[in-house]
Amino acid sequence: MAQNPEPNWLPERRVAKRSVRKMDPGQNEGGGSEPQVLEDRDAGGFWMTKAQNNPQGQRVLVNEFVSAALGRRFGAAVQPAAVLDIPSDIAERIKHGSGAAWATGPSFASELMDKAAVYAPDMLADASDPVGLAKVPVLDTWIGINDGRQARGQRVDTKYDIRAVDFGHSLGNPN
């Protein structure tokens, strides 16, 4: 464990205020869980959110929650997470690809990295948090990640904020 762990390492509980948009596959967003961007009413934050009844099942929610908490606990470069409660009036307006409405109640959310680029090796020289980034393979090894490592980067001034994303199939056998 880190000498000075992240003080807010457990995902907070928040309530959704509104649906903002679907994730955009053209911007390297999205995925099999069909996440959406939602805004919370507590702090006005924007969250990449996976519903309880997403096509990949509740397992991805548990994996995301546990992985985000562990990663934040020892300072790995992962996004802050939240349990976002979805009220029924919002859930009924959001549809999965199958046409089914989103489930109400708690969903997993990670802070949106808007307009983030897929990680490219030339970003590494300008990484804003090389130590946190180096902790990601430790996290991946510890939780036994079972899918490909995905990362996103955002330019912040002259540096890149590079974060590991998508832990949905990380814990245990994906089948």
Residue 99's φ and ψ, nearest 5 degrees, are: 95, -10
Domain presence at residue 6 = no
**SS3 at position 15:** strand
- Which residue did the predictor score with more confidence, 10 or 67? 67
Predicted TM-score of the model (pTM): 0.82
Mean pLDDT of the residues in the chain: 83
Q: Which pLDDT does position 1 carry in this prediction?
A: 42
Measured between alpha carbons, how far is 167 from 39 in angstroms, rounded to an integer?
Answer: 21
Would the pLDDT of 144 be above 80?
Answer: no
Q: The tokens of 72 are what?
A: 């934040």
DSSP 152-164: EEEEETTEEEEEE
Cα 50 off chain centre by: 9
Measured between alpha carbons, how far is 42 from 71 in angstroms, rounded to an integer?
Answer: 24
In this structure, is the dihedral angle defined by the CA atoms of residues 117, 49, 64 and 45, taken in order, positive or negative? Answer: positive
Element (H, E) at 134: helix 130-143
What are the tens digits of pLDDT across the range 28-54?
677 888 999 999 998 888 999 999 999
| One-letter amino acid of 167 | F
User: Which single residue is written with the structure tokens 């992985």?
Assistant: 67
Q: Count Cα neighbours of 173 within 13 Å in the Cβ-side half-sphere.
A: 1
User: Which single residue is written with the structure tokens 């130590």?
Assistant: 131
Q: Which pLDDT does position 26 carry in this prediction?
A: 67
Would the pLDDT of 25 be above 60?
Answer: yes
Q: What is the mean pLDDT of residues 137-145?
A: 80
Domain presence at residue 95 = yes
Number of domains in the chain: 1
pLDDT class for 174, splitting at 50, 70, 90? low
Q: The tokens of 124 are what?
A: 């590494």
Q: Containing domain of residue 74, as a range?
A: 12-165
Measured between alpha carbons, how far is 173 from 7 in angstroms, rounded to an integer?
Answer: 31
What are the tens digits of pLDDT across the range 80-137?
889 999 999 999 999 998 999 999 999 999 988 877 777 787 888 888 888 888 888 8
Domain presence at residue 25 = yes
Measured between alpha carbons, how far is 167 from 140 in angstroms, rounded to an integer?
Answer: 9
Measured between alpha carbons, how far is 61 from 83 in angstroms, rounded to an integer?
Answer: 9
